[in-house]
């Protein structure tokens, strides 16, 4: 959807990713990294999301999330990529596209990677994402 | 620049021309954003928006709003939404009503120093009027009430789910900023909740409780279970009746807000109550749908497992925020009467805990005219605000404070501690949270 060639470390969540709740504590000026602030997501709570490759099924929660992505891109604390096992949801699509066209930096976004993709991903794995959308475990 | 030759979405000649710059470079960029959005959602085409908007971008703070630079760019190009729009509540700058400490007030002033400029831009871009700020825009006092079948493009998850489910309008769950952009174009991707097929239910939720369950807990349970799917809910009819009366509207509004917060629910059907369920019944259920029973035990477990996120878990509560989303007149009247009765029965004049109730500006004006009720509430120590309680936490200075709330939505996004209304009322009167709560 938003192609880019990058390498990075994986973080996985099998729950819906609440973008607003996850980044809420990191939206102020001067923040150097985004630590997940969503206490309902035990897989990611407290973990550093900056420069990570986040593997998820879909995003949930507040429609405010649309603006969150523009902000984290501007602050330089955004993840490198969002890899969706399902078709991307409207909130994530809106936010990531706006961040791309109006925020000036791309968060690589690929969707419909499949359930097996998500099952094969674990925290800490290094992956390479190519421009054509293929994802290689390093 | 978008590659017009490799688009899957079908565009009209006029839409293509806009993409090629026929309406200027800024509109071209807006159109590109909307078309890419439609592509990402695999929309067949864009369709016309038919009614007023409601957006989740009332504050100038970065991270929850378009940047001022972006708004300047849009306004300078002379762009405006096709129809007027309402916005979520004002920032918490009505300090007289909030009882905040000096450091929090100073932080808020700093955060919202550009709010006036932001509000002016919103008016230029199509905001209905200076007071069109509430997360409950479909109250009669506010009047943003799209008719059944009307295509709109709303954001604010609690509003989108209400518009779809209870009003029978058709909107997708639009994200912040995209809400404004699609309404400037006047078109939205034809996907999901705008289509008959997308509005069918893939979950049958059976509510099996002894009494009418708390809507905010029920909504949270449903949302967490179905996530973004459409649930068809049965088992509420014998509690609520078949009519969409004010109590039922309030119940469904609270339930929907929680569904949308704990999941990504954009539409629910309630058997015999919501318009599409009344018309189509269980024909709305997709073949092979999933099923889930939600009972008292499940709801009690959900509530019991909510962590206490106060810095000191045993602290005396200092404050209470009621109304996220904003209360309706019916809900406000409930609190007025209940507080009055509870205080009288204990021979007290005032609540033990400083309480702020959040309502729309229109409702605030209306309520102030009922001098008797208004004075009773103020005498009890309650303040009224037309702002947003959640934004107080965005200062970063409120996290961990011993705040109570009746809102499971506020609980999800902050460290406020949620209690159902009756239980919360008891705490507000006595000042005590029971140790096993």
Nearest CA in chain B to A1: B40
Check A95 against B175: CB less than 8 A apart: yes
Check A101 against B32: CB less than 8 A apart: yes
Please check whether residue B34 touches A, CB under 8 A: no
Q: Which of A62, A87, A102 sits opposite B42 (nearest CB)?
A: A87
- In chain B, residues with a C-beta closer than 8 Å to the C-beta of A30 are none
Supply the pLDDT for residue A104: 83
Check B66 against A70: CB less than 8 A apart: yes
- In chain A, residues with a C-beta closer than 8 Å to the C-beta of B57 are 64, 67
Q: How far apart are CA A126 and CA B292, in angstroms?
A: 38
Q: How far apart are CA B403 and CA B385, in angstroms?
A: 16
Task: State the nearest Cα–Cα gap between A125 and chain B, in angstroms.
Answer: 27
Supply the pLDDT for residue B184: 98
Please enumerate residues of A whose Cβ is less than 8 A from a Cβ of B: 1, 16, 18, 20-21, 23-25, 27-28, 39-40, 58-68, 70-72, 74, 87-95, 97-98, 101-102, 111
Stated as kind and residue range, the H or E segment containing A96 is: helix A90-103
Task: State the nearest Cα–Cα gap between A55 and chain B, in angstroms.
Answer: 17
Check B264 against A61: CB less than 8 A apart: yes
Q: Which of A37, A58, A63 to mutate to test the interface with B (most CBs of B within 10 A)?
A: A63
Check B176 against A101: CB less than 8 A apart: no
Q: How many residues does chain B have?
A: 437
- In chain B, residues with a C-beta closer than 8 Å to the C-beta of A91 are 173, 175, 264
pLDDT in tens, chain B (437 residues): 567 678 899 999 999 999 999 999 999 999 999 999 999 999 999 999 999 999 999 999 878 889 899 999 999 999 999 999 999 999 999 999 999 999 999 999 999 999 999 999 999 999 999 999 999 999 999 999 999 999 999 999 999 999 999 999 999 999 899 999 999 999 999 999 999 999 999 999 999 999 999 999 999 999 999 988 999 999 999 999 998 999 999 999 999 999 999 988 999 999 999 999 999 999 999 999 999 999 999 999 999 999 999 999 999 999 999 999 999 999 999 999 999 999 999 999 999 999 999 999 999 999 999 999 999 999 999 999 999 999 999 888 999 999 999 999 999 989 999 999 999 999 999 999 986 55
CB-based burial of residue B334 (10 Å sphere; 0-12 exposed, 13-18 middle, 19+ buried)? middle
Q: Which of B160, B175, B185, B263 to mutate to test the interface with A (most CBs of A within 10 A)?
A: B175
Please check whether residue B264 touches A, CB under 8 A: yes
Check A89 against B399: CB less than 8 A apart: no
Q: How far apart are CA B382 and CA B410, in angstroms?
A: 19
Residue B292 tokens read as 């889930």
State the complex-level ipTM.
0.91
Supply the pLDDT for residue A36: 95
- In chain B, residues with a C-beta closer than 8 Å to the C-beta of A89 are 173, 228, 264
Check B173 against A90: CB less than 8 A apart: yes
DSSP-derived secondary structure letter, B192: G
Supply the pLDDT for residue B316: 94
Which residues neighbour B388 within 8 Å (Cβ) at sequence distance 6 or greater?
Answer: B58, B59, B88, B89, B90, B91, B92, B135, B324, B358
The answer, yes or no, to whether the previous bond of B325 is cis (omega within 30 of 0) is yes
Task: State the nearest Cα–Cα gap between A35 and chain B, in angstroms.
Answer: 14
Q: How far apart are CA B437 and CA B434, in angstroms?
A: 5
Q: Which of B373, B409, B402, B365 is nearest to B388 (CA)?
A: B409
Stated as kind and residue range, the H or E segment containing B292 is: strand B285-295
Is pTM beyond 0.90 here?
yes
Query: Which residues lie across from A8 on neighbouring strands?
Result: A127
Supply the pLDDT for residue B5: 75
């Amino acid at each position: 959807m938003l192609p880019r060639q990058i390498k990075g470390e994986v973080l996985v969540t099998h729950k819906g990713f609440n973008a607003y709740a996850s980044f809420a504590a990191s939206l102020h000026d001067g923040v150097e990294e985004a630590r997940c602030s969503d206490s309902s997501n035990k897989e990611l709570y407290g973990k550093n999301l900056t420069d990570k490759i986040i593997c998820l099924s879909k995003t949930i929660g507040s429609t405010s999330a649309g603006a969150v992505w523009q902000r984290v891109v501007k602050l330089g604390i955004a993840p490198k990529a969002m890899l969706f096992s399902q078709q991307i949801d409207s909130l994530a699509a809106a936010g990531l596209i706006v961040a791309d066209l109006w925020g000036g930096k791309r968060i690589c976004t690929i969707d419909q990677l499949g359930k097996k993709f998500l099952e094969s991903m674990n925290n800490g794995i290094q992956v390479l994402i190519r421009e054509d959308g293929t994802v290689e475990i390093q | 620049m978008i590659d017009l030759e490799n688009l899957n979405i079908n565009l009209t000649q006029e839409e293509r021309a806009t993409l090629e710059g026929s309406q200027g470079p800024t509109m071209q960029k807006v159109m590109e954003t909307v078309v890419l959005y439609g592509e990402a959602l695999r929309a067949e085409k864009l369709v016309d928006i038919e009614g007023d908007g409601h957006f989740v971008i009332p504050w100038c703070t970065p991270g929850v709003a378009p940047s001022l630079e972006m708004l300047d760019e849009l306004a300078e190009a002379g762009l405006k939404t096709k129809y007027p729009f309402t916005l979520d509540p004002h920032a918490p700058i009505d300090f007289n009503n909030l009882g905040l400490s000096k450091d929090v007030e100073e932080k808020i002033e700093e955060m919202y120093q550009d709010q006036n400029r932001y509000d002016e831009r919103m008016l230029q871009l199509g905001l209905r009027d200076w007071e069109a700020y509430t997360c409950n825009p479909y109250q009669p006092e506010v009047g943003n009430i799209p008719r059944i079948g009307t295509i709109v493009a709303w954001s604010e998850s609690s509003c989108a789910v209400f518009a779809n489910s209870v009003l029978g309008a058709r909107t997708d769950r639009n994200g912040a900023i995209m809400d404004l952009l699609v309404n400037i174009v006047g078109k939205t991707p034809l996907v999901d909740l705008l289509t008959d097929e997308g509005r069918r239910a893939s979950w049958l939720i059976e509510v099996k409780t002894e009494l009418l369950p708390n809507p905010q807990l029920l909504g949270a349970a449903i949302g967490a279970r179905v996530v973004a799917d459409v649930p068809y809910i049965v088992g509420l009819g014998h509690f609520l009746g078949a009519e969409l009366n004010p109590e039922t509207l309030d119940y469904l509004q609270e339930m929907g807000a929680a569904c949308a917060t704990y999941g990504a629910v954009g539409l629910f059907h309630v058997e015999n109550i919501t318009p599409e369920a009344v018309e189509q019944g269980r024909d709305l259920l997709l073949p092979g749908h999933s099923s889930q029973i939600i009972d008292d035990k499940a709801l009690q477990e959900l509530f019991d497992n909510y962590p206490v996120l106060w810095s000191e878990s045993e602290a005396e509560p200092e404050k209470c925020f009621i109304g996220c989303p904003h209360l309706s007149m019916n809900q406000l009247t409930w609190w007025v009467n209940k507080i009055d009765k509870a205080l009288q029965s204990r021979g007290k004049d005032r609540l033990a805990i400083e309480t702020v109730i959040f309502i729309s500006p229109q409702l605030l004006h209306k309520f102030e005219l009922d001098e008797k009720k208004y004075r009773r509430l103020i005498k009890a120590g309650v303040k009224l605000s037309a702002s947003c309680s959640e934004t107080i936490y965005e200062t970063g200075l409120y996290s961990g404070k011993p705040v109570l709330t009746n809102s499971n939505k506020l609980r999800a996004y902050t460290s406020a501690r949620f209690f159902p209304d009756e239980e919360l009322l008891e705490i507000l009167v006595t000042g005590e949270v029971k140790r096993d709560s």
